[in-house]
């Protein structure tokens, strides 16, 4: 069964204040090399509700989150959302500077968002489960 991807209203998203600052800087740095990704990321950041980082709910996708999601209602996939320098597709570490990364940031469990693939196709990403990033242990 295939789910048709219609023009959907974008879901409400939330992003931590510090992450918003980091991601805005990243998008600005990518404006010349990857203008489509930079523009898409800036659009998502502009519409996000800003939350103090410590108050962002655990079930909200942020950098370092492990996310289980389904594409167009098909089989699920599990990834960890990371900064570009930490990306490793073989390890399931997907960069925020990808269409999937931009679409997932700020979503919560149960929400869906259309991602525009680099080949122009639209895919509906549905967040099934979010595991908050592990905090570095002090020591």
Q: Where along the chain do its domains lie?
A: 14-131
**pLDDT by residue, tens only, the chain of 139 residues:** 444 445 668 899 999 999 999 999 999 999 999 999 999 999 999 999 999 999 999 999 999 999 999 998 888 999 999 999 999 999 999 999 999 999 999 999 999 999 887 787 889 999 999 999 976 444 4
Between helix 35-47 and helix 17-29 the angle, nearest 10°, is 160
pLDDT of the residue at 4: 47
Residue range 59-68, pLDDT digits in tens: 999 999 999 9
List the beta bridge partners of residue 71.
125
- Taking the model in full, what pTM does it have? 0.87
CATH class of 14-131: alpha beta
Residue range 99-115, pLDDT digits in tens: 999 999 999 999 999 98
pLDDT of the residue at 51: 96
């Amino acid at each position: 069964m295939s789910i048709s991807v219609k023009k959907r209203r974008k879901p409400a998203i939330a992003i931590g204040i510090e992450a918003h600052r980091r991601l805005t800087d990243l998008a600005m740095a990518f404006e010349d090399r990857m203008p489509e990704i930079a523009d898409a990321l800036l659009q998502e950041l502009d519409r996000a509700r800003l939350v103090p980082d410590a108050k962002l709910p655990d079930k909200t996708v942020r950098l370092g989150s492990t996310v289980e999601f389904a594409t167009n209602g098909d089989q699920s996939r599990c990834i960890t959302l990371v900064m570009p320098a930490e990306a490793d597709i073989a390890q399931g570490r997907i960069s925020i500077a990808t269409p999937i990364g931009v679409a997932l940031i700020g979503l919560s469990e149960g929400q869906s968002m259309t991602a525009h693939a680099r080949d122009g196709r639209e895919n509906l990403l549905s967040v099934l489960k979010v595991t908050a990033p592990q905090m570095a242990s002090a020591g």
